[in-house]
């Protein structure tokens, strides 16, 4: 299960996020996806979904140029990763700073978020 604590500039509240995918057929391309988010300010779910997804071979073009710099043992038991990239199709620059479980993401459109992976 993917789970994380998230805070974004657009919401101004801490959210608990969880997502899990289960194969539902012998075909590994068909999955049941459960996805939800709880807003701690409201004390209520802000997003719930259950869907069956089938993944077809990707026909859309995507591309990005990225530079990564990883510093292992920056401090004792602490790794840092810096990522700077450019999404070619949407023409959006972005960057990421990741320290063990904490991640800060931002892009050229002014969107940003902070994430803690559980």
Query: Looking at the domain assignment, is residue 59 inside a domain?
Result: no
The tens digit of pLDDT for each residue in 10-26 reads 778 899 999 999 888 77
Do 107 and 87 share a structural domain? Answer: yes
Query: Looking at the domain assignment, is residue 96 inside a domain?
Result: yes
Do 81 and 41 share a structural domain? Answer: no
Query: Looking at the domain assignment, is residue 70 inside a domain?
Result: yes
> What is the token pair recorded at 52?
């069956």
The tens digit of pLDDT for each residue in 31-51 reads 899 999 999 988 899 889 999
Sorted by sequence, the CB contacts under 8 Å of residue 101 that are 6+ apart come out as 116, 117, 118
What pTM does this model have? 0.63
Query: Looking at the domain assignment, is residue 68 inside a domain?
Result: yes
Do 102 and 71 share a structural domain? Answer: yes
* CA atoms of 6 and 27, how far apart (whole Å): 33
The number of folded domains in the chain is 2
Identify the bridge partners of residue 2 per DSSP, sorted by sequence position: 19
Q: Which domain holds residue 36?
A: 2-54
């Amino acid at each position: 299960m993917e789970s994380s604590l998230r805070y974004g500039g657009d919401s101004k509240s801490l959210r608990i996020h969880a997502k899990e995918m289960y194969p539902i057929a012998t075909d590994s391309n068909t999955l049941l996806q459960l996805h939800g988010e709880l807003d701690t300010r409201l004390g209520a779910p802000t997003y719930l979904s259950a869907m069956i997804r089938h993944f077809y071979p990707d026909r859309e073009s995507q591309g990005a140029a990225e530079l990564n710099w990883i510093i292992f043992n920056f401090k004792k038991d602490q790794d840092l990763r810096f990522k700077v990239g450019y999404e070619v199709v949407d023409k959006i620059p972005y960057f990421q700073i990741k320290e063990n479980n904490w991640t800060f993401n931002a892009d050229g459109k002014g969107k940003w978020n902070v994430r803690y992976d559980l």
